[in-house]
Structure 1
Amino acid sequence: MDDGSKKALLSYDHGISSEPLIGDTLGNYFEKIVAERQHADALVSVQQNIRYSYIQLLERINLCASGFLRLGIERGDRVGIWSTNNAEWIVTQLAAAKVGAILVNINPGYRTSELEYVLGQSGVKLLVVIPKHRTSNYLEMLEELAPTFFVAGDKSPCDKLPNLQNIIVIGAHGKLPGRLLSFDQVTAMGSELEASALKEREKQLQFDDPVNIQYTSGTTGLPKGVTLSHHNLLNNGLLAARAMNLGPDSRFCVPMPFYHCGGMISSALATISVGGAVVIPSPFYDDTAVLTAVQQEQCTHLSGVPTMFIGELHHPEFDSFDVTSLQGGFMAGAPCPVQLMRDVANRMKMQQIVILYGLTEASPLMTATTCNDSLEIRATTVGRVIPGIELKIVDAQTGEVVPRGVQGEICSRGHGVMLGYWNNPQATAEAIDKSGWLHSGDLGVMNADGFINITGRKKDMIIRGGENIYPREIEEVLHEHKGIAQAQVFGVPDARLGEEVSAWIMVKQGEALTPDEVREWLKERVAYFKVPKYVKLVSEFPMTVTGKCQKFVMRDMMAKELGLEASMPTA
């Protein structure tokens, strides 16, 4: 193709492959992998000292799935999991899939009000939970929402969560209060059920059935439940594996949280889809644990957001760890500095590291660089559209496809597009147009060779260390404070996390408030990563002549005040 032909191209592309898509359920496909990889390592949880071969993992999954059947889980019921990374997370995910349930991923950082909304909106029937995480006592929070579960002999429904019927506790020691069950009790219940019952349930399932709900914050302030099918997850995971050249001998260290697509699909499921070994270094990210797991388990691949790789590279004892087994992996979730990409490739020996781009609503992968792309391409673009997906870049005002080299909104269509937002047809219609195109809200440019550069975001979303944060959600909580008249939340640059949360607040007349008091008040009401690092009390906001707040002006002013201008993105 000559240069003239390239310049005439529109920003449309589709991924091609000689490999067909998989038309199967997660449970059926997993059993095919088990048949090929019976005694190979499937799952290693380092800090739990757990090691399952594929046949052992299948046995554990089947016991859990049978336990779910005995607890009355029907096809289409929602099974929630509120937990950090552990072996039980993977077991629960695949057990829920085998019985036709829909796994609801719950962010471990949620506070009580956020938990109540997600459990209620999705109608979770059975909840799998760890007892606590960091400073959050999950069981105390659940007792506040569902007190009858903690009273012996009280089988009355919960007023706040009428659909909830069972709470299962991972790693429980000793007698649990009320009608709570331990994870081991559930698997023991499963051993008492005939295997034919589970097989009969699996025969009823279709690969287009919903199998997962992941909540992503919305500009309305309320999280939206992205609903994904077996087909969505399985094909997206396998295509992530292909981008990274994963195979049966791959040993993938996964520090990314399973409640996110990056950990659950692009890391763990990608590895399982090719019969490799998933290695869990720790319940939550810890740079020492990651480096220890890589050395101890001779991991070949590693994933993370840029912040994680920075932490590993800057570890004071980095040079004492043997990371020579590493070959590749992926970086995603935030813009990747070019120098960081080079350091990861060279110092961490990850010469085959790739960049993955997408969003939860796309299962999540839309584009990827590959191991065959040059390091420069992998460091400066998010790659090309993956097989089986169409991608176009459109003018945000007219909806017309723009010429290559022109910025517009990134849209995708194909096997990755979600089924919709759970019980939210209006939001679904706003995200997926009548022609089936998913509108990402991200701005980007497609070059003549089809590589994509992300240039910005249509909305004000903040990406802090890979966490997507929508300002309005925090603003609505702040507006509940009796001393706050108005609040505006926005992102400011941060060299380590990509962005930090900042808030400008107007205090009501006659009220006294300090930035520290605002932060402390918020800590009890929103996840820790949503609490603004910077809080400024102001008497007014910069406004347009029509009365709209100018967040970009606030962002620029705050960056200048904090001495962050050098980190500001350029046009």
Structure 2
Amino acid sequence: MSESVTALPSYASGTSEVPLLGDTIGDNLDRTLAAFGDRDALVERATGRRWTYRELAAEVDLLARGLLAAGIGKGDRVGIWSPNRAEWIFTQYATAKIGAILVNINPAYRVHELEYVLNQAGVRLLVAAKAFKTSDYAGMIEEVRPTCGALRRVVLLDTPQWTELLESGNGVGQDRLAAAQAALSADDPINIQYTSGTTGFPKGATLSHHNILNNGFFVGELCGYTEADRICIPVPFYHCFGMVMGNLAATSHGACMVIPAPAFEPKATLAAVQAEGCTSLYGVPTMFIAELAEDDFDSYDLSTLRTGIMAGSPCPVEVMKQVIERMGMHEVTICYGMTETSPVSTQTRADDSLDLRVSTVGRAHPHIEVKIVDPATGLTVPRGVQGELCTRGYSVMLGYWEQPDKTAEAIDAARWMHTGDLAVMDEQGYVGITGRIKDMVIRGGENIYPREIEEFLYGHPDILDAQVIGVPDQKYGEELMAWVRMRPGAEPLTAERVREFCTGKLAHYKIPRYVHVVDEFPMTVTGKIRKVEMRERAVGILGLG
């Protein structure tokens, strides 16, 4: 019999003795309140404000009643445009309680993107910060308001508008809120998250209570969370990493959410872990790199840390080793996912070896199926063979908001979500991400996956971080360009020195022809590297126009 027939297919399903939750988010929060009312629920380090679960639930219910008083009900869209703060969380849970659909708006958006999202989602009420850093949110909102027909009311935080919205909740009885909550199904849409589309306008992934509550819960289960855990969340709430893997993982287990700062600051994050005795810390690799690089890193007491999550992009081996050895996060897990899958589809387990935690993104999540298919034929490939990663289960989004054509491109007839990521599954079912289908570089007919070269460059003693892209080339079609960040005090690298480092260790066609030294990479707010922007800028830098 031929090997292709006997080899196991690249398919796995996540088994679990723990059943899926059938709750709505509001009902689940009420259960946690009943069990852990006096325990810490939320700490906001920037203001020193703190809430127990009883106090958090009271804030959420008051805001939910205020939204009802404002005429907001089931299915209405409520936008939130703010950096991380307590009011973001109040709004997240208050909208869930009444069945309004929370529309997460990226804090980095400018006028053009804001206008698009408000109109595409049909946002009726917008909760927003007045300003943050260089962004004048209030000014931008006024600029787009005349063209946003659905928008009836804007509520700016830290103004009388917010106080009025809350106070109006006093005029609505708790029985009316209870009736609104009782009329909800766990399968109702509850959240629209706009994916940072690399081309064209972003698409609104529409997620249900069932999608995100269960995903947050099972992320927490695999981190071993109980009511004794305290989770430091420096990743943005507007993204699934913050609001699902952070907030919902916490509230479904009675754990405490700690907001170290409105946006990521390495020192504030380390200080929050120390001051609050955090047991878990989240971040994308670039955040952990920044924390470890702090001059006074060793002065922070991080001894309470046990676990945490690294996600968003592949984790370099050296970074993972330091997170375990220097930060004490011996049970740190790697998660893989995308907004359209609520987000997590695979996760490493606390007892997985260091090698598995850096070379893979773990195994299928509980109640989730994953498979790897040939992108051309759609057939499942044998284990060990690269293909496109697909995932199916409770976590797959309802669809892109009012874009059935785009939904059909991403989710096939059998409800498999096609991720666009290239991956390999090993004999034990562990999945390794090998690149993006769109990131693949074709140089003179050779398919090159930048991830392999980036991992190799991390081994250079002077390189702190590296990203590899393809740039246009007349002879080969594409050539490789490495963008590198240097370690403090290191001499900037030339292409010649990088070539010397690579020669004899990498195939000649995998050696970057161009090297560009930068202080930072262009990034999304969630810490994902914007390779599309790097490619655009590279054309100008190299004079390839």
Establish whether TM, by shorter chain, passes 0.5.
yes
Residues 1:323 and 2:302 aligned together: yes
Q: Cα gap change, 1:394/1:491 in structure 2, threshold over 3 Å: closer, same or farther?
A: farther
Which region of structure 1 is more displaced relative to structure 2, 427-436 or 183-192? 183-192
Provide the C-alpha distance between the structure 1 equivalents of 2:289 and 2:6, rounded to a whole number of angstroms. Answer: 38
8 Å contact kept, 2:312–2:528? no
Read off the aligned partner of 1:246 and give its amino acid letter: Y
Q: Any idea what SS the aligned residue of 1:537 has?
A: helix
Read off the aligned partner of 2:399 and give its amino acid letter: G
Runs of 5+ in structure 2 lacking a partner? 441-449, 455-468, 470-477, 488-521
Residues 1:16 and 2:19 aligned together: no
> Where do 1:148-297 residues align within 5 Å?
158=146, 160-172=147-159, 182-218=161-197, 220-297=199-276
Aligned to 1:72: 71
Aligned to 1:114: 113
8 Å contact kept, 1:80–1:106? yes
8 Å contact kept, 2:83–2:263? yes
Q: Any idea what SS the aligned residue of 2:350 has?
A: coil
Give the deviation of 1:537 after TM superposition. Answer: 3.2
Give the deviation of 1:217 after TM superposition. Answer: 3.0
Give the deviation of 1:184 after TM superposition. Answer: 2.1
Provide the C-alpha distance between the structure 1 equivalents of 2:221 and 2:107, rounded to a whole number of angstroms. Answer: 30
Read off the aligned partner of 1:194 and give its amino acid letter: G
Give the deviation of 1:218 after TM superposition. Answer: 3.2
Which of 280, 290, 304 is equivalent to 1:301? 280
8 Å contact kept, 1:382–1:452? yes
Provide the C-alpha distance between the structure 1 equivalents of 2:267 and 2:183, rounded to a whole number of angstroms. Answer: 45
8 Å contact kept, 1:7–1:404? no
Read off the aligned partner of 2:176 and give its amino acid letter: A
Provide the C-alpha distance between the structure 2 equivalents of 1:11 and 1:314, rounded to a whole number of angstroms. Answer: 39
Provide the C-alpha distance between the structure 2 equivalents of 1:431 and 1:230, rounded to a whole number of angstroms. Answer: 21
Residues 1:63 and 2:62 aligned together: yes
> Where do 1:106-145 residues align within 5 Å?
106-145=105-144
Aligned to 2:354: 375
8 Å contact kept, 1:6–1:448? no
Q: Cα gap change, 1:528/1:298 in structure 2, threshold over 3 Å: closer, same or farther?
A: closer
Aligned to 2:43: 44
Aligned to 1:405: 384
Aligned to 1:100: 99
8 Å contact kept, 1:355–1:383? yes
- In the alignment of these two chains, the number of paired residues is 469
Residues 1:421 and 2:400 aligned together: yes
Q: Cα gap change, 1:82/1:492 in structure 2, threshold over 3 Å: closer, same or farther?
A: farther
Q: Any idea what SS the aligned residue of 2:93 has?
A: helix
Give the deviation of 1:267 after TM superposition. Answer: 1.6
Structure 1 vs Structure 2 CA RMSD? 2.7
Q: Cα gap change, 1:99/1:496 in structure 2, threshold over 3 Å: closer, same or farther?
A: farther
Provide the C-alpha distance between the structure 1 equivalents of 2:528 and 2:230, rounded to a whole number of angstroms. Answer: 31
Provide the C-alpha distance between the structure 2 equivalents of 1:7 and 1:325, rounded to a whole number of angstroms. Answer: 48
Report the TM-score, using the length of structure 1 for normalisation.
0.78
> Where do 1:513-528 residues align within 5 Å?
none
Q: Cα gap change, 1:73/1:491 in structure 2, threshold over 3 Å: closer, same or farther?
A: farther
Provide the C-alpha distance between the structure 2 equivalents of 1:367 and 1:228, rounded to a whole number of angstroms. Answer: 18
Q: Any idea what SS the aligned residue of 1:255 has?
A: coil
Q: Cα gap change, 1:235/1:539 in structure 2, threshold over 3 Å: closer, same or farther?
A: closer
Aligned to 2:435: 456
Report the TM-score, using the length of structure 2 for normalisation.
0.82
Give the deviation of 1:145 after TM superposition. Answer: 1.2
Read off the aligned partner of 2:369 and give its amino acid letter: E
Provide the C-alpha distance between the structure 2 equivalents of 1:184 and 1:529, rounded to a whole number of angstroms. Answer: 38
Which of 315, 324, 331 is equivalent to 1:352? 331
Give the deviation of 1:456 after TM superposition. Answer: 0.9
Provide the C-alpha distance between the structure 1 equivalents of 2:90 and 2:121, rounded to a whole number of angstroms. Answer: 21
Aligned to 2:426: 447
Provide the C-alpha distance between the structure 1 equivalents of 2:528 and 2:13, rounded to a whole number of angstroms. Answer: 39
Give the deviation of 1:532 after TM superposition. Answer: 4.6
8 Å contact kept, 2:41–2:251? yes
Q: Cα gap change, 1:44/1:538 in structure 2, threshold over 3 Å: closer, same or farther?
A: closer
Runs of 5+ in structure 1 lacking a partner? 147-157, 173-180, 465-470, 472-487, 498-521, 543-571
Provide the C-alpha distance between the structure 1 equivalents of 2:23 and 2:158, rounded to a whole number of angstroms. Answer: 32
Give the deviation of 1:492 after TM superposition. Answer: 5.4
Q: Any idea what SS the aligned residue of 2:104 has?
A: strand
Give the deviation of 1:423 after TM superposition. Answer: 0.3
Aligned to 1:150: none
Residues 1:343 and 2:343 aligned together: no
Provide the C-alpha distance between the structure 1 equivalents of 2:198 and 2:138, rounded to a whole number of angstroms. Answer: 30
Aligned to 1:477: none
| Percentage of matched positions with identical amino acids | 48
